[in-house]
Amino acid sequence: MDPFHYYAEYRVLVCKSCQYGIQPGYIAAHLRGEQHGLTRQQSNEIAVKYADTDLANPAMEAIVPSDIVLPIDHLPIYRDGLACRRCSYVCRSLTVIKRHQREVHNERIGRGRRPEVIAWEIVWCQCFFTSIGQRYFRVQQTTSAVDQSDYADRLLELIHRQLDEKEEEEEEKRRIIRESDEVTEVSAWLDRTEWIRHLEGWDKSKIAQLVKPAQQEEQELREVENSVVRLVEQARQTILQKKVSVFTLQRLESFQPGRDAQKPFHANFGMDTIQRYQRIWKQLLVYVLRTVDTEWQRYQCTKEQQDSIKSIRIAIDNFREDNSEAMQQEMDKYCLQLCVTLLAQRLDHDEYESAVISFLAVMGLENILGTSRYRFKSSAQYTPILSGFIKMAQMLTLQYCFQQEEDNEVESCRVLLEELHSRFLTDSSATPMDWALRLRRGISRRMTMAGCINWIGDTVVYELSRTD
Ligand SMILES: [Zn+2]
Ligand SMILES: [Zn+2]
């Protein structure tokens, strides 16, 4: 099968599986590379077909559509592009778009002036090349009813990126006084999370390893990771294919016990968002299976959780002996059961009894680049983890209810969801979800106070804070 698609209009050959344009003269080399791993002969056979194809050289000319076209097939769509309103320039970094405003349009930002109207907007973009000649171009937004929550998610991401970049810029200036400088701000955040108390006395660099992806030799954990991927995809399909009613989805979207949200829960995130989100749950299950019954276990397991873990281990053994689909389903079933039992834990004494909250503390650690030391993430860096955890918790619970109905364990998926929703997916339920929701609300409030976000009615408006 031909791995390429030729766009005559742009004179670009795009690799359909790698999703980028091939530099002219590198077709055979690309096919021999590790993504495809073809033999020299196979690569040459394909390359020869394109010997006479006219290919533009991205090092010599800008290869972008002259209009705002529909998204081009076989290329990723980035929903976080920043398009200049004064010219056709597009990028995906706030620092870069600000520099563009300064250098190309002579715009001064900050410096004693009132901030002017923001001269760029969030758009969808694509690019043909990922190395030499990489150039983003704007494309049309195809889902015309761009979902508000998706938009809000992107906006939040942008704000986080902005904060991160701003922090990086200031890092240099602050380095010397950093420790004392940060005391008040950081301690409020760490007070709230109590990470220091929970992780006290542990070597940060060692516990950070506990949430690393499964290694080659950790067969069991790798099966669990694969299960999570399948479960998330099943959940997504359950929603997208409308296998459950809108009532069920409106309940799922709500964080109030016994109440429906105004809008149904949606699952049309971009593929990269899904992957980021599901990675968090992969890490969570890996963390639990790595630490349970070891000296690293800093939480308590309920009876239901222990049973699920036992069943998972048996199912994995069976699956490895008999690679059948039925065994795989068995494995997925118990993984999903573990997810639900983790969420269902009532935290009446200490919230850190929960494996989930213990895991979320470990996820707060980040490696200090270029060293072997670790520090705690800032609240802004941490919000996407909470959002991912929350969204996936909702989806997995829904899938569990759906599955229970499919297996004739319950009569109605909706009735079961209503019950579980009130028990552990809402505010004031004293569960891991409740904890995550509170923490996230605390962060939004802090960011609002810091002047990064303003609310006008239901719309969130972000402002650039001055960098000087
Ligand atoms: Zn390729
Ligand atoms: Zn411009």
Please write the tens of the pLDDT for every residue from 328-344.
Answer: 999 999 999 999 999 99
Among the residue ranges 93-102, 232-241, 395-404, the one predicted with the least confidence is 93-102
Nearest to 125 by CA among 135, 112, 113: 135
Residue 283 Cα, ligand 1 centroid: separation in angstroms?
29
pLDDT value of position 187: 59
pLDDT value of position 435: 92
Of the chain, the percentage scoring pLDDT greater than 70 comes to 83
Is residue 255 within 8 Å of residue 437, measured between CB atoms? yes
Write out the two tokens for 222: 């790798």
pLDDT level of residue 411 (50, 70, 90 thresholds): very high
pLDDT value of position 152: 63
Q: What would the mean pLDDT of 277-285 be, rounded to a whole number?
A: 96
Nearest to 313 by CA among 296, 288, 295, 294: 288
Helix (H) or strand (E) holding 425: none
Does the structure show a pLDDT above 90 at 142?
no
Is residue 89 within 8 Å of residue 142, measured between CB atoms? no
Q: What would the mean pLDDT of 186-205 be, rounded to a whole number?
A: 74
How far is residue 435's CA from residue 421's CA, in Å, rounded to a whole number?
Answer: 15
How far is residue 151's CA from residue 232's CA, in Å, rounded to a whole number?
Answer: 22
pLDDT level of residue 6 (50, 70, 90 thresholds): very high
Residue 36 Cα, ligand 1 centroid: separation in angstroms?
6
How far is residue 337's CA from residue 312's CA, in Å, rounded to a whole number?
Answer: 9
Is residue 392 within 8 Å of residue 278, measured between CB atoms? yes
How far is residue 376's CA from residue 362's CA, in Å, rounded to a whole number?
Answer: 9
pLDDT value of position 378: 78
Is residue 428 within 8 Å of residue 419, measured between CB atoms? no
Strand, coil or helix: 193: helix
Q: Which ligand is nearest to the CA of 27?
A: 1
Residue 106 Cα, ligand 2 centroid: separation in angstroms?
10
Name residue 237's amino acid: Q
pLDDT value of position 178: 35
- Identify which has the larger pLDDT, 83 or 189: 83
Cα–Cα distances in Å, from 455 out to 255, 283, 444, 458, 460? 20, 34, 11, 7, 5
Does the structure show a pLDDT above 90 at 181?
no
Q: What would the mean pLDDT of 210-220 be, rounded to a whole number?
A: 91
Name residue 410's amino acid: V
How far is residue 207's CA from residue 205's CA, in Å, rounded to a whole number?
Answer: 6
pLDDT value of position 337: 97
Q: What would the mean pLDDT of 353-372 be, rounded to a whole number?
A: 88
Does the structure show a pLDDT above 70 at 307?
yes
Listed as own residue / partner, the contacts of 319-326 with beta carbons closer than 8 Å and 24 or more positions apart are 319/223, 320/219, 320/223
How far is residue 169's CA from residue 162's CA, in Å, rounded to a whole number?
Answer: 11
Residue 136 Cα, ligand 1 centroid: separation in angstroms?
20
Q: What would the mean pLDDT of 447-468 be, rounded to a whole number?
A: 44
Q: Which ligand is nearest to the CA of 120?
A: 2
pLDDT value of position 166: 63
Q: Which ligand is nearest to the CA of 33?
A: 1
Write out the two tokens for 78: 């980035």
Residue 17 Cα, ligand 1 centroid: separation in angstroms?
5
Does the structure show a pLDDT above 80 at 154?
no
Q: What would the mean pLDDT of 96-112 be, rounded to a whole number?
A: 76
pLDDT value of position 117: 65
Q: What would the mean pLDDT of 447-460 be, rounded to a whole number?
A: 48
Q: What would the mean pLDDT of 105-133 be, rounded to a whole number?
A: 75
Residue 63 Cα, ligand 1 centroid: separation in angstroms?
19
pLDDT value of position 205: 81
pLDDT value of position 7: 95
| Mean per-residue pLDDT over the chain, rounded | 84
How far is residue 140's CA from residue 336's CA, in Å, rounded to a whole number?
Answer: 38
Q: What would the mean pLDDT of 17-22 be, rounded to a whole number?
A: 91
Residue 268 Cα, ligand 1 centroid: separation in angstroms?
27
Residue 382 Cα, ligand 2 centroid: separation in angstroms?
32
Name residue 266's amino acid: H
pLDDT level of residue 101 (50, 70, 90 thresholds): confident
pLDDT in tens, 230-251: 999 999 999 999 899 999 999 9
pLDDT level of residue 153 (50, 70, 90 thresholds): low
Nearest to 68 by CA among 94, 96, 93, 88: 88
Does the structure show a pLDDT above 50 at 39?
yes
Q: Which ligand is nearest to the CA of 20?
A: 1
Residue 21 Cα, ligand 2 centroid: separation in angstroms?
25
Among the residue ranges 103-107, 371-375, 382-386, the one predicted with the least confidence is 371-375
Does the structure show a pLDDT above 80 at 202?
no
Q: What is the pTM (predicted TM-score) of this model?
A: 0.60
Among the residue ranges 71-75, 85-89, 131-135, 171-175, the one predicted with the least confidence is 171-175
pLDDT in tens, 254-265: 999 999 999 999
Q: Which ligand is nearest to the CA of 106?
A: 2
Residue 46 Cα, ligand 1 centroid: separation in angstroms?
12
pLDDT value of position 448: 55
pLDDT value of position 466: 32
DSSP states of 333-374 as a string?
HHHHHHHHHHHT---SS-GGGSHHHHHHHHTTEEE-TTSS-E
